[in-house]
A and B are shown apart, each in its own frame.
Chain A
Amino acid sequence: MLDRVAILWPEITLLMTVMLLMLTGTSKDKDLRRAGSWIAAMGLFIAFVLAVRMPEPDTLLPGLAGFVRPAACVVGLLLLLGLGSVDTRYEYEIDGGRQFDPLDTTQGEFLCFFLLSLAGLMLCTTASDLIWLFLALEMTSLPTYIMVASGRSKIVAQEAAVKYFFLGAAAAAIFLYGFAMLYGATGSLHLIDIRTALEAQAANGGIGALAILGLTLSVIGISFKIAAVPMHFYTADVYEGAATPVTAFLAFVPKAAGFVVLMLLLSTVLHLGEGGQAWPEAIRVLLWVLAALTMTVGNALAMWQNRIKRVLAYSSIAHSGYMLVGLVAAMETTGSAADSPTTNGFAAVLFYLVVYGLTNLGAFLVLACLQRRGEELETFDDLEGLWDRHGGYATIMALCALSLMGLPPLIGFFAKLFLFTSAIRAGEYTLVIIAGLNSAAAAWYYLRLAGVGWVKRPGTAAAEVERSPSGGRRFAAGISAVAAIALVVMTARLITAGDDAVRLRTSDLIDHHATLPDDTSTAARH
């Protein structure tokens, strides 16, 4: 047990920071309360340093933690910046009787939930059994429900939180049911043992129906976290209802956790059996259909929206669809030594996650940086003439939107490129064509988002738009725009790191097939 704890120092650091924040957040002293953001940032930074240095956990994908945890800390720091510093003007106004607005004031408890959710994401990566997986995934989600509700004083936020909570609970029930079936089918909660058991089943006439059903249910349940069709219904309302910095958080953290858990779960059947061909066809078909539907539905709905946050919400569904293509592609490719990093589906998904997380954040933060009489911007009309009035934001928005669109030479193009190469490698031509056409469809609304600030002259609606006073948000938005360009230089390193992160445990991969008969290895574990 102790060796398990030894790899959790980053998460432990975050939890300790949370404790500290709970104390300072209740302090009478305003300055101490305001220091909360700095404390959280320190905690995240220490967690980052620790996460880089931690040894690999004993899981199916041992390298995953070493990639995702530092990345989560970096994006977390940007998100924290995006929450923004306290606007003292509003604090005085609230003292003077103005309605309380959580996001505009000191936010001790808010920061606690923020860090807890991030810790949940990081815990997912080290999960070695189903219980851990479930708890970590729920730990990611539960704080977000409260963040949605408390991040904004408007009634839509409460509505969004309730929707989010109930649908989330239902989804959790579905994948917990799936986990239970998986346990029933294999007799173990431990992912490595599950893999061994499934391998034995595959060798003796195919994987049993119960295990397949279990996996299917798990995948469908988790598709709530990644906002994949058919579990996407909450997305638009929740994203729109939540305060923009919270939406930026929702668009990345639970989604990343969902994909991490999906990868861990799928690696129980990945590259199974002789020559890696025993991957259950049913799961491949399921993922294929999910991917195609998610991309298409997400883009089709995004095109018709006029409210920016809804566009970004639906487009985030579409992005999940692209990443699912990577999971489908991973089937034939992961773990085989001859493969190059650029054809590894899982690595492509990790790369895409990082890129999507950074650039999507930029788009949301531009919205968060702008306001009209303290209210959030809503429609495309509000962005008209942005270039004339706030040129920097128009540039950031254009860079982020074009990168999300996948336009070369921005980093988003490379993210899509790796997904495409891995899928072509796996022979999924139809899916690649569907993904390609979807990228083209996405160009419609991303182009609108990128261009509206430049093309239109400022109208009356846009004239009242002003910068929000938070410098942190500006800074974070700037960083994501820079990342959209600068990461291109680091593409090779990132994709190689991603590839290393998703190598299956070598003992599972080669030794098993070569030397040990499947039954003995199962017996040995029990």
Chain B
Amino acid sequence: MLLTLLLIPTLTALIIMLRPARQAALIALIGSMVALVWACFVWSAFDFGDSASIQLAASWTWIEPMGLSFSLGVDSVALMLVMLTALLIPLSVLGSWTAITERVREFFLWLIILEIAMLAVFMARDLLVFYLAFEFTLVPMFFLIAVYGSTNRARASIIFFLYTFTGSIITLVGLLYVAWLQWSHTGHWTFDIATLTATAASMSATQQAWVLLALCCGFAVKVPLFPVHTWLPLAHTEAPTAGSVILAAVLLKLGTYGLYRFAMPMCPVAFSQYAPLIATLCIIGIIYAALVCWVQRDVKRLIAYSSVSHLGFCVLGLAAINTAGVSGSVMYMINHGLSTGALFLCIGMVYERYHTRSMDELGGMARRMPIWTFFTVFFVMSSVGLPGLNGFVGEFLTIFGAFTSGQPLQGLPTTGPLGPWYAAFAGTGMILAAIYLLYFTGHLVFGKYHVPDASHGGVHEHAHHHRLPRDLSLREVLVLTPLAIFCVWLGVQPDAILSRIEAPVNQVVASVEFANSQPLAALVTEDGEGR
């Protein structure tokens, strides 16, 4: 079932390679639509009554002496992210229909290869398969930015690649250490995520701290957390529209998903010990990035920095280590994918028409592009966290989680590390988000109408420029409408997701709290190594 989901895009990629370039976009669209339909089948085959356990599992032995097997399987959290990926790829393909004029075939090829890698990350049940896919996402993304990006693309792509590659090598060392520990206990290698998580959770606090540090090197860069976020604005700004959409909507989630799936259950003691530090970094990131957004003149860069700010909330929810915070965080992953992805699409549509991203050169688009204005304002509202739309749910839950962290809930003796102060500071991020996003809307959408002089922008003039209507074409509306529907639906009916992810989230939270409720001495003797 899951393997088929990987094979569909693989087949699509092969067909794209074999067919002429002018058919590439169509093939990519059909292939990714088929994958989306198949993902819906997967959704319906998934038993949400037992959502915490890995379902639809399949496994093939790969490298026997290493205990490496190609294992797939999803729990409901992974399934949500699979669905998000499967939904966004066809939209990105449709959104890039006219924007790409050179090397068209390669563009859609890389996009589809990226889909394979991203799906594999979320479906992997074997640690090394996860890591292989996690790393491999860099290659298609690198080429998407480097070949199809705007002026500064070479620098942006290399910085993007090196930053994340360096971080994830350290992550690999941490993961290998855990695997080796498992090997030294049992005498045979395995990279099964569940087994290794159990092994890792029994490490001493010092070992956990080191492993957590190693994992954070890769995942925090990917998220990105505050001090290591500097690759993101550059990469986002220079990437082509589809690249930005995928980067914001899915690739950043690899980091938060990694923290959720590995860092929390593998190093429960260390994670709760260092959660205040992580949360502090998140809050610095939330406020700092929001302030940076406020002064941006480049709209794409503004949205990019807003991602840093938003992902801060996402990790803050994880650091709260309670059901509200963590499920809010998962919810946030999906919401951010929808609304920020959509905003990047909106900006891409304007860019395709006027070839500028500067607020100095653009303004008052509402007069010329009413339909576009409707969608943009809609997604800005969703991103700000207007109650009734999806963004509100995630933001509320993560802040609520941070606020109540440390309060005994449901009779459990909780060691939740955060408290109201964290929530208060994070809350200012929400206010700042409203300020910079409305400011952005005020300048770009309303305000005085001005666009770059057509004669002035002669060098940028593409031949297809004239084929685009003044306002959105039907194709572009088709791209944005599904996202808008999901934004409303998840805003009104967040329970559709929340109830489905409750069980796995509770399991993770419970495992962290359980590990912390054990006296440390017992852990050390259990581990056999001690300190």
With both chains docked as a complex, state the minimum distance between the C-beta of B133 and any C-beta of chain A, in angstroms: 8
Q: Which of A221-229, A292-300, A419-427 forms contacts with chain B?
A: A419-427
Q: Which of B57-65, B361-369, B398-406, B432-440 forms contacts with chain A?
A: B57-65
Contact A436 B170, beta carbon cutoff 8 Å: yes
Give the distance in Å from the alpha carbon of A179 to the alpha carbon of B147 in the complex. Answer: 55
Contact partner, A443, options B162, B170, B180, Cβ 8 Å: B162
Give the distance in Å from the alpha carbon of A458 to the alpha carbon of B122 in the complex. Answer: 38
Contact of A8 with B by CB under 8 A:
no
Cβ proximity bits B129-169 to A, threshold 8 Å, 1 near / 0 not: 00111011011001100110000011001100110011001
With both chains docked as a complex, state the minimum distance between the C-beta of B229 and any C-beta of chain A, in angstroms: 18
Q: Which of chain A's residues has its CB closest to B179's CB?
A: A421
Contact A409 B64, beta carbon cutoff 8 Å: no
Contact partner, A454, options B65, B147, B188, Cβ 8 Å: B147
Give the distance in Å from the alpha carbon of A289 to the alpha carbon of B331 in the complex. Answer: 49
With both chains docked as a complex, state the minimum distance between the C-beta of A524 and any C-beta of chain B, in angstroms: 36
Tell me which residues from 339 to 386 in chain A have a Cβ below 8 Å from any Cβ of chain B: 340-343
Contact partner, B180, options A408, A425, A492, A496, Cβ 8 Å: A425
Q: Which residues of A contact B64 (CB under 8 A)?
A: 492
Q: Which residues of A contact B176 (CB under 8 A)?
A: 417, 420-421, 424
Contact partner, A436, options B142, B169, B187, Cβ 8 Å: B169
Contact of B189 with A by CB under 8 A:
yes
With both chains docked as a complex, state the minimum distance between the C-beta of A399 and any C-beta of chain B, in angstroms: 10
Contact A439 B169, beta carbon cutoff 8 Å: yes
Q: Which residues of A contact B166 (CB under 8 A)?
A: 437, 440, 443
Contact of A413 with B by CB under 8 A:
yes
Cβ proximity bits A389-433 to B, threshold 8 Å, 1 near / 0 not: 000000000000010000111000110010011001100010011
Contact of A451 with B by CB under 8 A:
yes
Contact of B288 with A by CB under 8 A:
no
Contact of A312 with B by CB under 8 A:
no
Q: Which residues of A contact B106 (CB under 8 A)?
A: 454
With both chains docked as a complex, state the minimum distance between the C-beta of B38 and any C-beta of chain A, in angstroms: 23
Contact of A444 with B by CB under 8 A:
yes
Q: Which residues of B contact A341 (CB under 8 A)?
A: 65
Q: Which residues of A contact B132 (CB under 8 A)?
A: 408-409, 413
With both chains docked as a complex, state the minimum distance between the C-beta of B209 and any C-beta of chain A, in angstroms: 14
Q: Which residues of A contact B170 (CB under 8 A)?
A: 433, 436-437
Contact of B291 with A by CB under 8 A:
no
Contact of A204 with B by CB under 8 A:
no
Contact of A447 with B by CB under 8 A:
yes
Q: A444-B158, A492-B64 are in contact. Are A407 and B188 (CB under 8 A)?
A: no
Contact partner, B136, options A408, A440, A443, A496, Cβ 8 Å: A408
Q: Which residues of B contact A448 (CB under 8 A)?
A: 158
Cβ proximity bits B92-108 to A, threshold 8 Å, 1 near / 0 not: 00000000000000100
Contact partner, A407, options B136, B177, B187, Cβ 8 Å: B136
Q: Which of chain B's residues has its CB closest to A409's CB?
A: B132
Contact A409 B136, beta carbon cutoff 8 Å: yes
Contact of B43 with A by CB under 8 A:
no
Contact partner, A342, options B66, B142, B161, B173, Cβ 8 Å: B66
Contact B173 A421, beta carbon cutoff 8 Å: no
Contact A451 B173, beta carbon cutoff 8 Å: no
Give the distance in Å from the alpha carbon of A439 to the alpha carbon of B189 in the complex. Answer: 24
Give the distance in Å from the alpha carbon of A451 to the alpha carbon of B140 in the complex. Answer: 11
Q: Which residues of A contact B62 (CB under 8 A)?
A: 492
Q: Which of chain A's residues has its CB closest to B135's CB?
A: A408
Contact of A463 with B by CB under 8 A:
no
Q: A439-B169, A455-B146 are in contact. Are A447 and B63 (CB under 8 A)?
A: no
Contact of A313 with B by CB under 8 A:
no
With most chain B CB atoms within 10 A of its CB, the pick from A417, A429, A437 is: A417
Q: Which residues of B contact A1 (CB under 8 A)?
A: none
Contact B165 A440, beta carbon cutoff 8 Å: yes
With both chains docked as a complex, state the minimum distance between the C-beta of B62 and any C-beta of chain A, in angstroms: 7
Q: Which of chain A's residues has its CB closest to B61's CB?
A: A492
Give the distance in Å from the alpha carbon of A455 to the alpha carbon of B157 in the complex. Answer: 10
Give the distance in Å from the alpha carbon of A340 to the alpha carbon of B63 in the complex. Answer: 12
Tell me which residues from 473 to 520 in chain B have a Cβ below 8 Å from any Cβ of chain A: none
Q: A433-B173, A443-B162, A447-B158 are in contact. Are A492 and B189 (CB under 8 A)?
A: no
Give the distance in Å from the alpha carbon of A396 to the alpha carbon of B495 in the complex. Answer: 50
With both chains docked as a complex, state the minimum distance between the C-beta of B185 and any C-beta of chain A, in angstroms: 13
With both chains docked as a complex, state the minimum distance between the C-beta of A138 and any C-beta of chain B, in angstroms: 36
Contact B169 A440, beta carbon cutoff 8 Å: yes
Q: Which residues of A contact B188 (CB under 8 A)?
A: 340
Contact of A521 with B by CB under 8 A:
no
Q: Which of chain B's residues has its CB closest to A388's CB?
A: B103
Q: Besides the contacts A455-B143, A491-B63, what 10 more A-B pairs have beta carbons closer than 8 Å?
A: A342-B189, A408-B132, A408-B136, A420-B176, A421-B176, A424-B177, A429-B177, A433-B173, A451-B142, A492-B63
For the complex of A and B, list the 6 residue pairs with the smallest distance between their C-beta atoms, beginning with the closest.
A440-B166, A408-B132, A436-B169, A492-B63, A341-B65, A455-B146
* B interface, CB within 8 angstroms of A: 62-66, 106, 128, 131-133, 135-136, 138-139, 142-143, 146-147, 153-154, 157-158, 161-162, 165-166, 169-170, 172-173, 176-177, 179-180, 183, 187-189
* A interface, CB within 8 angstroms of B: 338, 340-343, 402, 407-409, 413-414, 417, 420-421, 424-425, 429, 432-433, 436-437, 439-440, 443-444, 447-448, 451, 454-455, 491-492, 495-496, 499
Give 9 pairs: A residue, B residue, CB < 8 Å, sorted on A.
Answer: A343-B180, A421-B180, A440-B166, A440-B169, A447-B158, A447-B161, A451-B157, A455-B153, A492-B64
